[in-house]
Chains A and B, each alone.
Chain A
Amino acid sequence: MEYEFHWNIVFQKLPQLLNGAFVTLHVSVLSMLIGIAIAVLLAIAKMSDARIFSLPATVWVEIARNTPALFQIYMAYFGLGAFGIHLSPYAAVLSALVFVNAGYLTETFRGGFQSIPKTQYSASKSLGMSSTQLYRYIILPQMFRRIYHPMTNQFVWSILMSSLGILVGMNELSGETQRLQSLSFRTLEFFIVAAVMYFLITKFVLFSAALISQKVFKGEL
């Protein structure tokens, strides 16, 4: 191979790449937190016997899980744009990622809920606990403990999928990489550095998740 690597240009532009990496981390953490909150509600709604709750939840999950994330980001940006609703690139990517995260996590959470023996529900009731207390103290802590690993997988997934933000001109790591490589045409160098950054971000997130789990679950995972 006759390719000569030029690394100095990449080091000059490192601050801009780090900015992009920060946006990537930012949008995926936020999409995860909102996604988890929505998914808990959707999972409870999906298990409900009342169709008014279970049907919308099922529709959400089916669309989120069976269409490409690329399509959802495009819908949020140009699709809504056709109706005169203009989200910023950041908001479009965030809402699309929240939509997908919530969809996938709903099924994960439902599995978590259903793995908890029904007898615990009746036992709590017989102790005089309200529904809120039941979920707050008995069900949710056990559920989160059981689905903690699949949940971190979803987190990694949303970090990697946020790179699709490039499609709508978002200045996350991929968009910034694309812009910088077009200035200098050092394509390979910039892409290699971006790949390393993605790797480090996901490792950082997995490490933090492990720390949090030790703190919260006292190592009983």
Chain B
Amino acid sequence: MREYSEPLYWQIRRMVESHDDASDVLQNTFLKAWQNIENFRGEAKLSTWLYKIALNESITFLARERKRLNRSLDDEESHLVNLIEADEWIDGDELALKLRKAVASLPEKQRMVFNMKYYDDMKYEQMSEILGTSVGALKASYHLAVKKIEKMLGEVN
């Protein structure tokens, strides 16, 4: 569990932006995995399977929160920025914070792609297995995300 909990936590945390929420989502991820372990056939890597569950749980959590707080998808960016600013568990400088805010403005799927590629340096093939998207589409998505972030960071500076 130690082997997977850390990388999964960071992936979840970059999506939900709050340590407490990330901890809850990580717990749900392991519970789901434990309950459905008989569905794991061993054809994919265990880490791929767990990543898939973790990202699904993250998106479900964000959607549930939006519904609970009666928040639209357009308000999501400002909500995430607020969470980033209020986050007490940070260990970065101003630039890293700006990057987090820029990433938070991306659409959910693009955010996942950027996080996996930029921070985790994950291979497109593994990302393709996790997200169920073609490698070509992922490359295009990442390229777009980088362009947007560069533009945003350029404007901020």
**Do chains A and B stick together as partners?**
no
Residue ranges of A at the interface with B (Cβ–Cβ < 8 Å):
none
